[in-house]
Amino acid sequence: MAEDPTRVTARLLIETKSVLFRPDDPFIFTSGRPSPVYVDCRRLISFPDARRQLMAMMADQIREAVDVDQLAVVAGGETAGIPFAAWVSELLDLPMVYIRKKPKGFGRNARIEGVLPEGREAILVEDLATDGGSKISFVEGLREAGAECGHTFVIFHYGIFPEGIRTLEKAGVHLHGLATWWDVLDCAEADGSLDSETVAKVREFLEAPDAWGKAHAPKAS
């Protein structure tokens, strides 16, 4: 029996150190928000075997979720989504485009690079999703360029911000991910990557991220 793709994804993220746990010395994001966990899927581009496994699982997930024969293009979001979209488009034998965060500002002033057929279906491939805000922006860009887009696929999504999922659903976008923080934490606990104290601290954050952030916010100097 094949191993569960979710568990494989979680293990690969741990093995490549693409996920980190630091509850006693929280990471501080640009927003000022503290977090005991950090994910960096960009690291995966440096691990050929891991990325091959992940992209194969994502391609399978796409085939299960949509009719690939109806897809015109795989779109990657600037910049982290570009390599993953390229690998997935190769596996699905589909054209690829990438979408900028904002128009180029000169020349064609393009936001979409590549050939995007109007009125045809596109999917958005990204590395990860937190609250889904950037996904909405990219999907809107694809739609403004004339494509239909109702699905976005990511390697990892936080799985702790339900309001973000609801926002995507209201915009007619279905989010698909290979693993969440819950999956990674379960895997790390099962294989002994984390001790029980760290697991408890991270679980506290995952269950109530806003409350945890307020309690661990850096004190003003």
Q: What is the pLDDT along the chain (221 residues), one digit of tens a residue?
A: 568 999 999 999 999 999 999 999 999 987 788 999 999 999 999 999 999 999 999 999 999 999 999 999 999 999 999 999 999 999 999 999 999 988 765 556 579 999 999 999 999 999 999 887 889 999 999 999 999 999 999 999 999 988 888 999 999 999 999 999 999 999 999 999 999 999 999 999 999 999 999 999 887 65
Instruction: Tell me if the pTM is above 0.85.
Output: yes
For the domain bounded by 58-179, which CATH number is listed? 3.40.50.2020
Q: Phi-psi category of 24—alpha, beta or left, where left has phi over 0 and alpha has psi -120 to 50?
A: alpha
Q: Measured between alpha carbons, how far is 32 from 184 in angstroms, rounded to an integer?
A: 24
Q: What secondary structure letter does DSSP report for 107?
A: T
**Strands 121-129, 112-113: pairing kind:** unpaired
* Tokens 């993953």 found at: 84
- Crossing angle of helices 196-207/181-190, nearest 10°? 170
Which ranges of the chain would DSSP assign to H, the alpha helix?
A: 5-15, 48-65, 81-92, 133-144, 162-170, 181-190, 196-207, 209-215
